[in-house]
Structure 1
Amino acid sequence: MLKTLSIRDIVVIERLDLSFEDGLCVLTGETGAGKSILLDSLGLALGARAERGLVRPGAERGQVTALFELAATHAVWGLLRDQGLDEGAGDGILILRRMIEADGRTRAFLNDAPIGVGLMREIGDQLVEIHGQHDDRGLLNAGGHRRLLDAFIGADDALAALRRAHGDWDAARGLVSAEQQLLQAIRADEDYLRHSLAELDKLDPVIGEEEVLSARRTLMMQGEKLRGGLGEVLNDLVSDGGADGLLRGAMRRLERMPGTGGEALDGVLTALERASIEAGEAIAQLEEMLARFAFDPREQDATEERLFALRGAARKHHCAVDDLQDLRDQYAARLSALDHSENRLRDLVAAEAKSRQNFEKAALALRQKREKTALSLDRVVNAELAPLKLDKAKFRTRIELLPEEHWTADGGERIEFEVATNPGAPFGPLMKIASGGEQSRFILALKVVLAARGSAPTLIFDEVDRGVGGAVADAVGERLAQLAGSLQVLVVTHSPQVAAAGSHHWHISKRTRKAGRGEEMITEVQALDPSARQEEIARMLAGARITDEARAAAAQLMQR
């Protein structure tokens, strides 16, 4: 609950420190005394929108600090744990502070750690509910009605099951979508892939083939030139008997010469024989080389054609020749994935259909529970209307089935509280159908029914008794006191009957004081003891001139 509220330099509040208790806390005062400023100040600490006009004239900045004491089981600790900000969970103390500079800039703090205003607002929504005629974030906001009905049902388990089913369905839809996109991308290139794969299969590239073919082609081109020169040399060596014939002819003549030369010619004959043998070897090697360079022109043409085909394919696919084999494997894998993806897509679609059925089953179970319990909620809320002078009004919970595109993890229906203020009048949204005073009483009736289930620990009602008096005001006071039995309730009121129902009472007043050469208005808040409470309630009954009769009537009200 809210324990303390400290305000510095906000509008007409210079310095104010308030301590609150549990039970029904009443704030009263003359119109214009500053009650709305007090609530606006608290709103700042809860993340409400800030404006530069909120800073007291002449001050550099304004500041509001709200201290809360919470049970260790309060849901806000889970929120803070997710943000890494749950240091205060041990002692149950949570402090929200908001500073606003004169130029409109603001800063937000949680237990003196800076936080964003959005997070402050989210925290504030779990700590305090402020209900009044301009309540657009509480019961008048249809966006929260489903949550309130589920709290009344006690639907935590069913809602958790529904959200799990929705998460499974959402994940399955994501897998189907991803597979469809992959399949679409493959199909878009299918013709190109199949044509390219057929070409590469026909080409059948081999890694390293280009280097081998290029070397072979170079050898054949060079061999053609060498073969011509070698042929001419060989021809010179073998034509007209050749070098070997000349050498052997010379040897025969020397051998037939008369023997005067004797042993002197042996060396010459040996040299000529050696030369003849080497000449024969040279001729044999030349013939062998000519045979080796005797390439088939068709082979050379085939080599060049193959090399041209490989390099042409590489240019077409913007890769190296040695990468063609890997590219062929990639194309084959993508086409294989096409068939696999089609099979996988069928499996994923079947799984998605099953997860959808599971969600629909869980959603139907929760919807039936909501529809059944909505009748009970309508019955108990309508029972609260007559004592609040709304006996001609009717309340109902409308459950509207939504098309599939609007289904969420919370279900497939829209839930809104509606009212009809007169017999025969059509039902409509609470915010549009009911007047300001009626709205406040409808909200009070709803909170009496719903407070024990899913309510913030602190409720604030701003002039919930507007436009009513007498027995109706008594009923409003009784229900506020009933609420305060389980929650902390703060009520700003002009009704003496409501004020008399309070456990604690503060009086808000405004006075002028000297400031420089002029005067300024400031707001003050005073906690009232029983005697002062009686005097304030008597003032509310009698007006400016308080009579003994008014004091007696006030005492009687306080004894109820």
Structure 2
Amino acid sequence: MLTLLTIKDFAVVRTAELEFGAGLTVISGETGAGKSLLVDALGFLSGLRADSGMVRHGAERAELSAQFDLSDAMPARDWLREQELDEGDDCQLRRTLRADGGSKAWINGRPATLAQLGELAGLLVEIHGQHEHQALLSKASQLALLDGFGGHEAALTAVETVAAHWNALLREREALSKQGDVSERIAYLEHQFAELQREALEPDAIAELGATHRRHAHAAALIAACDGAFARLAGEDAPSMTRQLQQTRSELMRVVEHEPRLADIDALLDAASIQLDEAIALIERVREDLDLDPAQFEDMERRLGRIHDLARKHRVAPEQLAAQRDALAAELELLRSAGQRVTALDGEIAAARKQWQAAAAKLTEARTKTAKALSKSTTALIGELGMGGGKFEVALEPNAAERPDANGAERVEFLVSANAGQPPRPLRKVASGGELSRISLAIEVAALGGDLVPTMVFDEVDSGIGGAVAEIVGQKLRALGEKRQALCVTHLPQVAAQGHAHYRVSKAASDGVTQSAVEKLDAKQRAEELARMLGGVEVSKEARAAAKRLLSNVD
């Protein structure tokens, strides 16, 4: 819901700030005062092409800003989250138009493209009137409105799910078909796989081979070091460290009775003796494992050489060769079973096609019923809105696409005949802006609750009508405002009286420059404004009395 619209240096408006609430807000004013500028501001905030002529004379740029409450706009919240532009429950659209023709846009304070601005605005506000920016004119929006009005969510979800599955199968089938004859590829992969399979390529095996190779490469030095250490620690030819340690303990124990602390030293030496014995035993085991075997060393050299050659060939580290081997095995398996998979896919695709057709048929049946109901109710409303003889039709057009469509088996086109005897034409081709606004109003009222856009704006929806029809238009707008936030620029008091809130736009000359001002009216001011709209420049007692009656007749 739109909560705040701020305008600065825009056309003849120096500055204006409008607060909006739920329900119907009407905007009135004298001809040429700039009532539609508020709609134009929303249009530019919705991504319309920049127009330097909209910058107030003498200003460098125009600044426009709109604040929205997203509690009733879940699609917009989802879009912001996907674009990583979300800021809680509120959203701000901001745009500047420069006098040199340039413009900038922001969403929640972050720079945005006009395309992003347009996408988001399309989920927040819908403008009806003599403007090109009208979501209801697109077939996609018409289809969404029809499905929303008919409550087709479950049927549409079923079609979307089956269509996604069918499309996935088709993509897999196409990918396999593009491979063509894979016999050469299979032969190549088999050769590569055989080379890798001949070696022990697990990372632990390669690491163990490397360590064993290093031991053999330095076997002579290792043997000499182990022999020397053993001789020093436990050798029999010279005083060994073990023997010296035992002699030291014996000498100390002979005099321990004279110095008790020597017992602590003996305990330490005893522990050292145990560790020394363990070290000697380990040296013996290491020495037994060492062997100068040139043949075995050469074999390890060749194995390491082959592993490094394979790593260079496949452009991976030696430790990644096992993963490369497994990947080749998986691709071989896939290619060998490709023919079988294609055959299986043909059956799965045929089954998915039948499932989609069944789900789409149910959706088509529901849409057909909904289309008749919407056509009937909208046609009745068109007549009430001063277009007697007019007719509205919801035409379902078969979708000729060969691939599965998540939106079902048809497209929707809203057709309108504004006068009796005229053939129905697409809504987007209706020439009269006033007629288009009233038809849009009729559709929205007939489809109350079916349109997900929370804010609807009607510009001069009452153009060319008056009297009882004007009162009906106002009543329908108020009824729409009970379900959705509605804004209406109007020149008719019968329509203005139906508003839940009322703004007046006035113009005056200041320093030789015409400027517009926007004012929210209280109850007394509102009655006076309605009297002006009824009586013109000279506001009579009768006009004021009629204005009070209009206000008193509003539910």
The reply to whether TM is greater than 0.5 is yes
Distance 1:20 1:334, change over 3 A: closer
TM-score by length of 1: 0.69
Aligned match of 2:402 in 405, 418, 421? Answer: 405
Aligned match of 2:129 in 128, 132, 136? Answer: 132
How far the C-alpha of 1:536 sits from its partner, in A, is: 1.7
- Amino acid in the other structure paired with 1:25: T
Aligned match of 2:483 in 486, 497, 519? Answer: 486
Q: Which moved more, 1:402-411 or 1:160-169?
A: 402-411
- Amino acid in the other structure paired with 1:35: K
Alpha-carbon distance in 2 for matches of 1:499, 1:338 = 73
Q: Deviations over 1:277-303 (max 9, x none)?
A: xxxxxxxxxxxxxxxxxxxxxxxxxxx
1:40-439 maps to which residues of 2 (within 5 A)? 40-71=40-71, 74-89=74-89, 93-182=90-179, 184-186=180-182, 340-405=337-402, 408-433=405-430, 435-439=432-436
Partner of 1:9: 9
Partner of 1:440: 437
SS in structure 1 of the partner of residue 483 of structure 2: coil
Distance 1:94 1:340, change over 3 A: closer
Alpha-carbon distance in 2 for matches of 1:366, 1:428 = 25
How far the C-alpha of 1:425 sits from its partner, in A, is: 2.9
How far the C-alpha of 1:385 sits from its partner, in A, is: 2.5
SS in structure 1 of the partner of residue 361 of structure 2: helix
Q: Which moved more, 1:419-428 or 1:75-84?
A: 419-428
- Alpha carbons 2:146, 2:450 under 8 Å: kept: no
Partner of 2:517: 524
SS in structure 2 of the partner of residue 546 of structure 1: coil
| Percent of paired sites with the same residue | 40
- Alpha carbons 1:13, 1:524 under 8 Å: kept: yes
SS in structure 2 of the partner of residue 366 of structure 1: helix
Alpha-carbon distance in 2 for matches of 1:101, 1:422 = 44
How far the C-alpha of 1:153 sits from its partner, in A, is: 1.1
Q: Deviations over 1:143-182 (max 9, x none)?
A: 3211110001111122122111111111111111111110
Distance 1:72 1:477, change over 3 A: closer
Alpha-carbon distance in 2 for matches of 1:434, 1:105 = 31
Partner of 2:248: none
Alpha-carbon distance in 1 for matches of 2:482, 2:539 = 32
- Amino acid in the other structure paired with 2:42: L
Alpha-carbon distance in 2 for matches of 1:36, 1:433 = 21
Q: Deviations over 1:501-547 (max 9, x none)?
A: 11211111222211xxxx22211111122222222222222222222
- Alpha carbons 2:460, 2:491 under 8 Å: kept: yes
Alpha-carbon distance in 2 for matches of 1:443, 1:22 = 20
TM-score by length of 2: 0.70
- Amino acid in the other structure paired with 1:12: V
Distance 1:523 1:407, change over 3 A: farther
How far the C-alpha of 1:383 sits from its partner, in A, is: 2.6
- Alpha carbons 2:8, 2:14 under 8 Å: kept: yes
- Amino acid in the other structure paired with 1:450: A
SS in structure 1 of the partner of residue 135 of structure 2: coil
How far the C-alpha of 1:448 sits from its partner, in A, is: 0.7
- Alpha carbons 1:186, 1:334 under 8 Å: kept: no
Partner of 1:36: 36
How far the C-alpha of 1:103 sits from its partner, in A, is: 2.6
Distance 1:436 1:105, change over 3 A: closer
Alpha-carbon distance in 2 for matches of 1:136, 1:107 = 19
- Amino acid in the other structure paired with 2:50: A
How far the C-alpha of 1:340 sits from its partner, in A, is: 4.1
Partner of 1:553: 546
- Amino acid in the other structure paired with 1:524: A
Partner of 1:328: none
How far the C-alpha of 1:54 sits from its partner, in A, is: 2.3
Distance 1:111 1:431, change over 3 A: closer
Aligned match of 1:536 in 510, 526, 529? Answer: 529
Partner of 1:235: none
Distance 1:170 1:418, change over 3 A: same
Distance 1:72 1:12, change over 3 A: closer
Q: Deviations over 1:258-293 (max 9, x none)?
A: xxxxxxxxxxxxxxxxxxxxxxxxxxxxxxxxxxxx
How far the C-alpha of 1:407 sits from its partner, in A, is: 5.2
- Amino acid in the other structure paired with 1:372: K
How far the C-alpha of 1:469 sits from its partner, in A, is: 0.3
Distance 1:531 1:402, change over 3 A: same
- Amino acid in the other structure paired with 2:159: L
Q: Deviations over 1:165-223 (max 9, x none)?
A: 111111111111111110x2548x79xx99x99xx9xxxxxx9xxxxxxxxxxxxxxxx
Distance 1:347 1:530, change over 3 A: same
How far the C-alpha of 1:73 sits from its partner, in A, is: 6.6
Alpha-carbon distance in 2 for matches of 1:49, 1:434 = 22
- Alpha carbons 1:109, 1:115 under 8 Å: kept: yes
The two structures, once aligned, show a CA RMSD in angstroms of: 3.0
Alpha-carbon distance in 2 for matches of 1:176, 1:69 = 46
Partner of 1:247: none
Q: Which runs of 5+ in 2 are unaligned?
A: 192-197, 199-329
- Amino acid in the other structure paired with 2:539: I
- Amino acid in the other structure paired with 1:549: E
- Amino acid in the other structure paired with 1:3: T
SS in structure 2 of the partner of residue 133 of structure 1: coil
SS in structure 2 of the partner of residue 379 of structure 1: helix
Distance 1:424 1:59, change over 3 A: closer
Distance 1:96 1:136, change over 3 A: closer
How far the C-alpha of 1:79 sits from its partner, in A, is: 1.4
- Alpha carbons 2:167, 2:404 under 8 Å: kept: no
Partner of 1:512: 509
- Alpha carbons 2:70, 2:77 under 8 Å: kept: no
- Amino acid in the other structure paired with 2:530: I
- Alpha carbons 2:356, 2:404 under 8 Å: kept: no
- Alpha carbons 2:67, 2:92 under 8 Å: kept: yes
- Alpha carbons 2:163, 2:404 under 8 Å: kept: no
How far the C-alpha of 1:108 sits from its partner, in A, is: 2.0
Alpha-carbon distance in 2 for matches of 1:416, 1:378 = 12
Q: Deviations over 1:7-50 (max 9, x none)?
A: 11122222111212222211111222112222111222233322
Distance 1:527 1:87, change over 3 A: closer
Q: Which moved more, 1:424-433 or 1:392-401?
A: 424-433
How far the C-alpha of 1:479 sits from its partner, in A, is: 0.5
SS in structure 2 of the partner of residue 467 of structure 1: coil
Partner of 1:318: none
Alpha-carbon distance in 1 for matches of 2:98, 2:430 = 40
